[in-house]
Structure 1
Amino acid sequence: MGVDYDTIVEEFEWDIPESYTVTSTVADHAASFGDRVAVHFLNEDGHREERTYADLRDDMNRFANGLEELGVGKGDRVMHLFPRHPDAFAIQLGALATGSLLVPCSSMLRAKDIEFRSNDCTATTVIVHESLTDMVEPILDDSPLERVIVLDGDEADLDDDRWTTFQSVIDDQPTEYDGPDLSAEDPMSINYTSGTTGQPKPVLHKHRWQYCFNRVNGPYWWGVDDDTDLEEELLWATTGTGWAKWFWSPVGVGLTSGATQLIYDGDFEPETFLQILEDEGVTKLCAVPTQYRMFANADLESYDVQLNNTLSAGEPLNREPIERIEEAWGVTPRDGYGQTETVALVTNYPGIEVKSGSMGKPTPGVGATIVEMDKEEEVEPGEIGEIAVPVDSPAIFDGYYEKPELDEQKLSGEYYRTGDLASQDEDGYFFFEGRADDIIISSGYRIGPFEVEDALISHDAVAEAAAVDSPHDERGSVVKTYVILAEGYEGSDELKTELQEFMKEETAPYKYPRRIEFVDELPKTSSGKIRRVELREQEEEKHA
C-alpha cells in the first residue's frame, strides 16, 4: 500500500512532552498493561526467561534504590559491559532512574578500550557480567572507577570491597523508588562512536533521543505506529547491549512502544537464527547486512517464517540478499541509515517503493539533506555530497561530552555533517557513496566505494569486498578492491580479469577495479564496519 510521502513530511510536527523519559514511559506501560511480556529471552543452551512490563518496573526501581544506597546519583556516569541478558533492561532503566548517564560498552572491546572510556568520561561505576570481569580488573587502579557490580556474580568470589553483585544490590530493595525529577532535556547516555578513524568520541544524548526514536524509527522504519496491534507482534533486533543500535531499536522502539521483543544470546549461525525466526514466530526483524548476506546463501524456502517487516542497518545492504529474501519470503529488507549521533535519518519505510541499492528517503521531521563538501549548499540530483542535518533538529545528539572543541567543529555551522557521502536521484531517494574520507578520486572522477563493492559482490565468486583508492602515477589514484572469495573459488590472474570485465558491464567503465587483491579477511571495527583507512594506508606504503 503506497503512502503520500510529501504529505507526510509536510504535516509532520514534533511534540516532545517536557516530562518525557524512557523510565517514566516504561512505568506507564507497567500501569497500563503490566502483565504483557516485554522481554522473551532465549540463549544458545535453550534457557528461557520472560520479563513482563511490571517486572521491568519493579526491578528498575529495586536497582535504582540499590544504586542510590551505594552513592550513585544524578549526573554520575555508569558504564555497563554485559551480553544480551534478561536483566539488561532493568539495569539500564535502574541507572537512568537515578539520573545517572549510561555509558554502554561492547563485549567485543578490550581492557584498554574500557580504560580509555572510563577515564574519558570519569565513570565511577561499572556493571559487568561475571564472564567479562577480566576486562575491568586489570584497569581498575588506572581508572576513576570506584565500584564494580557483577551481573550473575557470586559474592563469595569477591575479595575487594569495591566489588559487589547485582543480586546483592537489589536484594530486599523496595519496588517503589522516589528518585530525582527528570525531563526530556536531562542527559541520558554517552555512546562512544566506533572509531573508524582516531579515538572514539563521547556522544551525549538526552532522554528526548528515545522519544524521537519512538516518533521516527517506530513508524517510518519498523512499521510500528498507533494502528499496530502489539499483542500480535514479536520484535527481534540482533544488536548487542553495548551499541547505539540497542538504543535505536530494543529500547527506542521496543520498550517505548510497549512491544514484546525477543532477545537471543548466542553467536550468529545462519541456520540457528533462521530456525529461531520460525520457532518463535518473530514478525519484525532487524539485522545487519552481514547476517542478511549469510541468510541469502541458506535454503530460505525451507523455513516457515511469519515476518511482516525486515530491516537492515549498520552499513548499506547489497541488492543480492534483498532480492533473494524477497523471492523466498515475500518481504523486502528495508535499509535504514543513521549514526550514533542521530535517529534514523534516511529509511525505506513502509509504503514507499524500495529502490534497489537505495538508502531510502529522508525521514519526516529530521531535515536530512545532502550538501556540498566545502559549502553549506545542497547539491543537485546525481551529484555526490555529504549527508547533513540542521543543527537545531531534535533528532540529533546534544554535543560531545565535555568536548567543546569537538562541538565547535561539528555543531557551530548550519548543519551537522555526518561524514557520509551520498547522491540523490530525481525522486528524492538517497544512494550511499561511502565515508567522506573513503571517496576515490581517479582521473578527476569521484567514485563511491559502496557502488563498486555492491556490484562486485553480485558476482558468484565474491563473498565480501572493500574498495579503496590506490596511488597511481598517471591517474592520481585507481580503484583497488580487496576481495574475499566465496567457498569453492581460488584466486588467480584469470579470475581477476573475469571480475574486471564483469565490473565494466555492471558499472560505468571508469569505476572498475584496476587492481584486485584476494585476501582471507578484512580489517574491521569492533562493530563490524570495514576499516578502509587501514587498507588505504597499505596502498600508500606499497606505492610510496
Structure 2
Amino acid sequence: MGVDYDTIVESFEWDIPESYTITSTVDDHASSFGDRVAIKFLNADGHREERTYADLRDEMYRFANGLEELGVSEGDRVMHLLPRHPDVFAVQLGALATGSLLVPCSSMLRAKDIEFRANDCNATTIVVHESLIDMVEPVLEETPLERVIVLDGDESELDDDRWSTVQSVADGQSADYDGPELSSEDPMSINYTSGTTGQPKPVLHKHRWQYCFNQVNAPYWWGVDEDTDLEDELLWATTGTGWAKWFWSPVGVGLTTGATQLVYDGDFEPDVFLEILQDEGVTKLCAVPTQYRMFANADLESYDVQLNDTLSAGEPLNREPIERIQDAWGVTPRDGYGQTETVALVTNYPGIDVKTGSMGKPTPGVGATIIEMDEEKEVEPGEIGEIAVPVDSPAIFDGYYEKPELDEQKLSGEYYRTGDLASQDEDGYFFFEGRADDIIISSGYRIGPFEVEDALVSHDAVAEAAAVDSPHDERGSVVKTYVILAEEYEGSEELKTELQDFMKEETAPYKYPRRIEFVDELPKTSSGKIRRIELRQQEQEKYS
C-alpha cells in the first residue's frame, strides 16, 4: 500500500462512532464473517488450537455472564496475569463486556508489582494462569482483591471461596449477554507504564482507543486498510498479553480489522521463530528490536518467508538489522513510535521512503510535533526537542486513573509531553534522541543517548551499550557508556581507546564517550527497556 503523505494528512478527519467498543466490534465481525479464523494458536510443544470470530463472540459473552454472576459489574477493575493463550481474548473481552476496566499485568513482573497495581487502582478481581499463581498468593491478603479466577486451573484443588476457574465461571452460561450499554467514551483499561523513570503510572484509556488504532495503526503502520484482502494475510505480533503493545496490535489491529492472527506461546529462540514465520505463512510481523537484532545474526536466506511487512516497536531499531533483513527478504523493517498513553504517533508509512534510523513521520490526525523542552514552541529542523501531542487529540489517553496531580502535570497545558526527545530533518522525518531525562549536556552541547549507542553497537566488539551523562568538573558532564562486549572480546584500556577513536569517526567528535565501562549486564525494566536512571545515579554517586 502506497500513500501520498501530504494528501492523507490534509484530508484526515476523526469520525469516532459514539457506540464504538471493541466488544461490539467483535460481535459485528461474528455476524458478518463468523467462520473466519480469528486466532491461530501454537505453543512450544506443538499444540494447536483455533478460534473463529463466532467462537470469540460466544466465549466472550459466556465469560461475561459468569463474571456478572460472581458480582463483577460496570466500573470494577479486573486485573489479568496471563501468558499467550487461546482463551486470552475471551477473558479480556468478557471482562470488558461487563463494563469493567481491564488492568493488564505481565508475567515478567514480581509479586510486589502485582500488589502495587492492585492497591493503586483498587482492583477487586484478578484472572491468573495456574502457572503464575505464586505471583498472587503471597500478596493476596495485602490487596483489595476479592476474587481470583484461575485459567487452566483445577477446581478440586481450590479450597478458598474467593477462588474459581475460568472454565467454571463460563460453563453453562448463555452465549447471549444483556450487559450495560457502553460507548466509545466509556473507560476501557488501566495500562501501567513500564517505570523507566519511577513508579509505574496508571494510564486510563476509553474504548475509543481501539478505534483510533483501527484508523491509525492499522493503515499507517501495519499496512491494513479497506483494500487489504484479509483472507490472504496472517498477522503476528510477538508481544505479551500484559503490555500496552498487546492492545496496539493483537487487539487494536487484529481484532478491530477482523484479521487472522497468530499467537505463539514460547520463549524467543531465533531459529524457532524463523521456522514459524516460514511454516505458518506469516505475512506481517511485528517484533521488538532485540528480536530483529538476533534474527540478523541467523542465516535468513535459508528461510522461505512470505512476509510483505516487518514492523518494529518498543525502542529504535539500529541500521544493521534493517539492512540485513532488507537484503535477505526484500522487506524493510519499519519503525513505529508511540507510548502506553497513545496510539502510533510517528511511523514509517507503507509506501514512503524509509530513512535508516528514523522513526518516520507523524501519523495523520494525531498532531505529533517536537517542542522546546522549557516552552510550548516548536523547534527548528535539526534541533532536539520533546515529542508532544495536543491535549485535545483523541489519540492520547484520558488521564491517569485517580491521579489528578499527575493529570495536572501532564495535561494542563496545550500539549501532552511524551518525555521522549527527537529531532526532525528538513523532510519531516523524526529521529529519536532519548528520554528527556536521559539527555546529556556536555560543554553546552545537547547529546541524545541513542545516537551514541546506535553508533557504538555498530562496532564488532559491542553487543549492547547504554549512554548516560557523567559529572565532570570542567565540562559539567561528559558522555559515559556502559558496554556489554560480544562474546569473543575482552575489556581492556586498548579496546576503550579503539572504541573512542571509532566513535570520533562515526559521530560528531563532541559526542564520543570520554568514559567507558565494560559490564556483564544493564539494568532494565520488566519490558526490557534500559533504566538509564540507575546508571546516572551510579555516576552521580561515583563523582559527587
- 8 Å Cα contact 2:421/2:433 also seen in 1: yes
Is the partner of 1:383 in helix, strand or coil? coil
Q: CA deviation at 1:450?
A: 0.2
Q: CA deviation at 1:487?
A: 2.1
Structure-1 residue corresponding to 2:457: 457
Q: CA deviation at 1:461?
A: 1.1
Equivalent-residue separation in structure 1 for 2:372 and 2:458 (angstroms):
31
Structure-1 residue corresponding to 2:312: 312
Equivalent-residue separation in structure 2 for 1:234 and 1:265 (angstroms):
17
- 8 Å Cα contact 2:384/2:433 also seen in 1: yes
Is the partner of 2:263 in helix, strand or coil? strand
Structure-2 residue corresponding to 1:377: 377
Equivalent-residue separation in structure 2 for 1:59 and 1:292 (angstroms):
35
Structure-1 residue corresponding to 2:502: 502
Amino acid of the residue matched to residue 99 of structure 1? G
Equivalent-residue separation in structure 1 for 2:303 and 2:504 (angstroms):
37
CA deviation profile, 1:129-154 (whole Å, cap 9, x unmatched): 00001111111111100000000000
Structure-1 residue corresponding to 2:479: 479
Q: CA deviation at 1:460?
A: 1.1
Equivalent-residue separation in structure 2 for 1:486 and 1:32 (angstroms):
53
Structure-2 residue corresponding to 1:153: 153
Equivalent-residue separation in structure 1 for 2:396 and 2:134 (angstroms):
35
CA deviation profile, 1:145-166 (whole Å, cap 9, x unmatched): 0000000000111111100001
Corresponding position: 1:536 with 2:511 = no
Structure-2 residue corresponding to 1:239: 239
Corresponding position: 1:9 with 2:9 = yes
- 8 Å Cα contact 2:462/2:484 also seen in 1: yes
Q: Structure 1: where are the runs of 5+ without partners?
A: none
Amino acid of the residue matched to residue 272 of structure 1? V
Amino acid of the residue matched to residue 430 of structure 2? F
Amino acid of the residue matched to residue 123 of structure 1? A
Equivalent-residue separation in structure 2 for 1:76 and 1:412 (angstroms):
27
**Identical columns (%):** 89
Amino acid of the residue matched to residue 50 of structure 1? E
Amino acid of the residue matched to residue 435 of structure 1? R
Aligned residues: 544
Corresponding position: 1:104 with 2:104 = yes
Is the partner of 1:79 in helix, strand or coil? strand
Is the partner of 1:285 in helix, strand or coil? strand
Equivalent-residue separation in structure 2 for 1:339 and 1:36 (angstroms):
31
Q: Structure 2: where are the runs of 5+ without partners?
A: none
Matches within 5 A, 1:296-335: 296-335=296-335
Amino acid of the residue matched to residue 153 of structure 2? G
- 8 Å Cα contact 2:386/2:417 also seen in 1: yes
Equivalent-residue separation in structure 2 for 1:530 and 1:269 (angstroms):
21
CA deviation profile, 1:211-250 (whole Å, cap 9, x unmatched): 0000000000000000000010000000000000000000
Is the partner of 2:516 in helix, strand or coil? strand
Is the partner of 2:216 in helix, strand or coil? helix
Equivalent-residue separation in structure 2 for 1:346 and 1:240 (angstroms):
22
Matches within 5 A, 1:68-83: 68-83=68-83
Equivalent-residue separation in structure 2 for 1:510 and 1:298 (angstroms):
35
Amino acid of the residue matched to residue 277 of structure 1? L
Structure-1 residue corresponding to 2:470: 470
Structure-1 residue corresponding to 2:220: 220
Q: CA deviation at 1:3?
A: 3.0
Worse overlay, 233-242 or 456-465: 456-465
Q: CA deviation at 1:2?
A: 5.0
Q: CA deviation at 1:495?
A: 1.2
CA deviation profile, 1:400-432 (whole Å, cap 9, x unmatched): 001111111100000000000000000000000
Amino acid of the residue matched to residue 13 of structure 1? E
CA deviation profile, 1:306-342 (whole Å, cap 9, x unmatched): 1000000000000110001000100000000000000
Equivalent-residue separation in structure 1 for 2:73 and 2:45 (angstroms):
37
Matches within 5 A, 1:245-260: 245-260=245-260
Q: CA deviation at 1:540?
A: 1.1
- 8 Å Cα contact 2:3/2:349 also seen in 1: no
Amino acid of the residue matched to residue 219 of structure 1? P
Pairwise CA RMSD: 0.7
Amino acid of the residue matched to residue 171 of structure 2? D
- 8 Å Cα contact 2:319/2:357 also seen in 1: yes
Q: CA deviation at 1:491?
A: 1.2
Corresponding position: 1:185 with 2:185 = yes
Structure-1 residue corresponding to 2:46: 46
Equivalent-residue separation in structure 1 for 2:275 and 2:107 (angstroms):
25
| TM-score normalised by length of structure 1 | 0.99
Amino acid of the residue matched to residue 398 of structure 1? D
Equivalent-residue separation in structure 2 for 1:31 and 1:444 (angstroms):
62
Structure-2 residue corresponding to 1:405: 405
Is the partner of 1:254 in helix, strand or coil? helix
Equivalent-residue separation in structure 2 for 1:135 and 1:4 (angstroms):
49
Structure-2 residue corresponding to 1:424: 424
Corresponding position: 1:338 with 2:362 = no
Equivalent-residue separation in structure 1 for 2:197 and 2:383 (angstroms):
25
Amino acid of the residue matched to residue 329 of structure 1? W
Amino acid of the residue matched to residue 395 of structure 1? A
Q: CA deviation at 1:488?
A: 1.1
